Amino acid sequence: MIKENVKRILEELPKGVILVAAAKTRTVEEILEAINAGVKVIGENYIQEAMRMFEVIGNKAQWHFIGKLQKNKVKKAVKIFDMIETVDSVELAREIDKRCCEINKIMPVLIEINSGREPQKSGVLPEDALEFVKEISSLPNIRIVGLMTMGPFAGDPEDARPYFVETKKIFDKIKKLNLPDVEMRYLSMGMTNSYQVAVEEGANLVRIGTKIFGMRNYK
């Protein structure tokens, strides 16, 4: 099942769009099946779970952190992740920078945009994104490589489109400025129900869980 699902999605995605398999709550076996079918990037929300997986899977895939990162977990996170997609505060950026400095690593990061302007959601507000990028871009051990957004959870994928459009606008605006130490290369938008719309609006990283692995029971 997983194998067929991955193959179908990979065939469908336009060239240059990277599939991130959102792996929360899945087993090592399920993830390995996805990797064997062609998944190159695993997305993880939880550090403990990711560390367990990483012990077995290691560098058979790249690891992107896509959850809410607690400051006290950063030290562990920087050891295994190849990218952190959810940077949304100066404090978090500084902690990543500090912990990466200790292990002599430069961490590619995406800035998470709260495109729905939802008070309970993480992410930088669209109007604050540029200032935020400028503020953290000089940290030597992180490298800003793009933006990520969730958008409000919606049943109809069309409802997500305006939020993807807005995030792409911010992406283009920042890209045009050619800021030092800022590379607008990756735009991470879209999940199982919305990735087609996200790709139409310029996403080149899509984070897909359910459509690869089936329904989740919890979380």
Ligand X SMILES: *Cc1c(COP(=O)(O)O)cnc(C)c1O
In the complex, the residues that contact ligand X under the rule CB under 6 A are 22, 24, 45, 66, 150, 191-192, 207-211
Q: Give the whole-angstrom CA distance, residue 69 versus residue 1.
A: 31
Min separation Cβ 25 and ligand X, Å: 9
Which is nearer to ligand X, 138 or 210 (by Cβ)? 210
Which is nearer to ligand X, 22 or 160 (by Cβ)? 22
Interior/surface letters 159-190, b for 16+ CB within 10 angstroms, e for the rest: ebbebbebbbebbeebbeeebeebebebbbbb
Min separation Cβ 110 and ligand X, Å: 11
Q: Which residues contact 19 (CB under 8 A, 6 or more apart)?
A: 6, 9, 10, 13, 39, 40, 41, 206, 208
Min separation Cβ 207 and ligand X, Å: 4
Min separation Cβ 135 and ligand X, Å: 24
DSSP for 106-121, written as a single string: -EEEEEEE-TT--TTS
Min separation Cβ 151 and ligand X, Å: 10
Helical residues (DSSP H) of the chain, grouped into ranges? 2-12, 28-36, 47-57, 74-80, 90-102, 129-136, 161-177, 195-200, 210-213
150 CA to centre of own chain: 9
